[in-house]
């Protein structure tokens, strides 16, 4: 693509303005459902202001990030799930988006090892890490592109136990064993 952005990479700008997709909105942020959920519950928190991605953040964004953190915590409290809240170090879609994802990873959109590793390795940068980095360094400290690509190619590892599945089908069956039964 010679560095140019493909048209689909801008789809979140449109999605966050579609009232039928909005689960929460205030003057600073919008929360929408992820269109290709990787877990039973998967949402994206987007700032109303245009901010391309995690690398665009500096200390001036701290009040916004703290607001995103606060709003996310109260939003997730409505669900009977444990949530992870973080950003992909190298996002595919433009406009900053915080993933709120329940920790079951049993969504229809979770298909590839790359998907798995993007949430379960340090490719996934928690919002508390982002706030900490902005407070102490004025920017988010991220691994090099080469290291990020390596993280995505890492062997599969269950996020809850020591099991190392040989492929995604085995992982998906294994994840059922971690689903609470009540």
Positions marked catalytic? 97
Stretch that binds ligand AMP, among 86-94, 132-140, 143-151, 161-169 (CB under 6 A): 86-94
- Beta-carbon neighbour count of residue 120 at 10 Å? 19
Q: Distance (Å, rounded) from C-alpha 178 to C-alpha 159? A: 10
Minimum distance, C-beta of residue 64 to ligand AMP, in the bound complex (Å): 18
Cβ burial 70-81 (10 Å sphere, 16+ → b, else e) = ebbeebbeeeee
Rg of the chain, C-alpha, whole Å:
16
- Beta-carbon neighbour count of residue 100 at 10 Å? 27
Residue 11 near ligand AMP by CB under 6 A: yes
Residue 96 near ligand AMP by CB under 6 A: no
Residue 160 near Zn ion by CB under 5 A: yes
Q: Between 65 and 175, name the residue whose CB sits nearer to Zn ion.
A: 175
Give the binding site for ligand AMP (CB under 6 A).
11-12, 15, 32, 34-36, 44, 88, 91-93, 109
């Amino acid at each position: 693509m010679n560095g140019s952005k493909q048209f689909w990479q801008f789809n979140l700008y449109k999605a966050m303005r579609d009232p039928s997709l909005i689960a929460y909105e205030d003057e600073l942020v919008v929360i929408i459902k992820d269109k290709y959920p990787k877990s039973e519950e998967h949402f994206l928190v987007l700032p109303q202001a245009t901010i391309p991605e995690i690398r665009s953040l500096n200390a001036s964004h701290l009040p916004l990030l703290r607001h995103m953190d606060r709003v996310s915590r109260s939003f997730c409290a409505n669900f009977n799930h444990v949530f992870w809240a973080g950003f992909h170090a190298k996002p595919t879609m433009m406009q900053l988006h915080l993933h709120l994802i329940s920790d079951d990873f049993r969504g229809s959109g979770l298909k590839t090892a790359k998907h798995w590793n993007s949430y379960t390795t340090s490719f996934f940068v928690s919002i508390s890490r982002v706030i900490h980095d902005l407070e102490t360094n004025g920017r988010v400290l991220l691994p090099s592109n080469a290291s990020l690509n390596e993280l995505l190619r890492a062997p599969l590892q269950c996020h809850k136990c020591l099991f190392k599945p040989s492929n995604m089908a085995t992982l998906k069956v294994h994840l059922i064993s971690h689903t609470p039964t009540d």
